[in-house]
Amino acid sequence: MVQAVINIGDRTNRVLNIVKAKFGLKDKSNAIDLVVQEYEEKFLEPQLRPEYSEKINKISSGKHVSRAELENALK
């Protein structure tokens, strides 16, 4: 786990407090983790996600696969 001292604005602080309360989280660190996870799932391209490389490595473990198999595995 990485620790960081960050400066956030009042609005961001309020939003983190709302997320923390809404999801019953222990602290703002958990709220930040949740917000970042949601951002990753909705906005990052698959090739930028760490699990993308893992899936590609599993799929290409020395055998040839069809395009359909590859697309299904990446879902």
pLDDT tops 80 at residue 75: no
31 touches 20 (CB < 8 A)? yes
Residue 2: how many CB atoms within 10 A of its CB? Answer: 3
Predicted TM-score of the model (pTM) = 0.59
- The DSSP letter of residue 48 is G
- Give the position of tokens 């198999």: 69
Per-residue pLDDT of 2-45, as tens digits, reads 899 999 999 999 999 999 999 999 999 999 999 998 888 777 77
Q: Which two tokens stand for residue 54?
A: 């893992």
CA distance 42 to 65: 27
Task: Examine the domain organization and report whether 53 and 32 are in the same domain.
Answer: no
Is the model more confident about 73 or about 33?
33
Task: Examine the domain organization and report whether 37 and 49 are in the same domain.
Answer: no
Range of 69's domain? 45-75
User: What total number of domains does the chain contain?
Assistant: 2
Task: Examine the domain organization and report whether 38 and 66 are in the same domain.
Answer: no
pLDDT tops 70 at residue 48: no
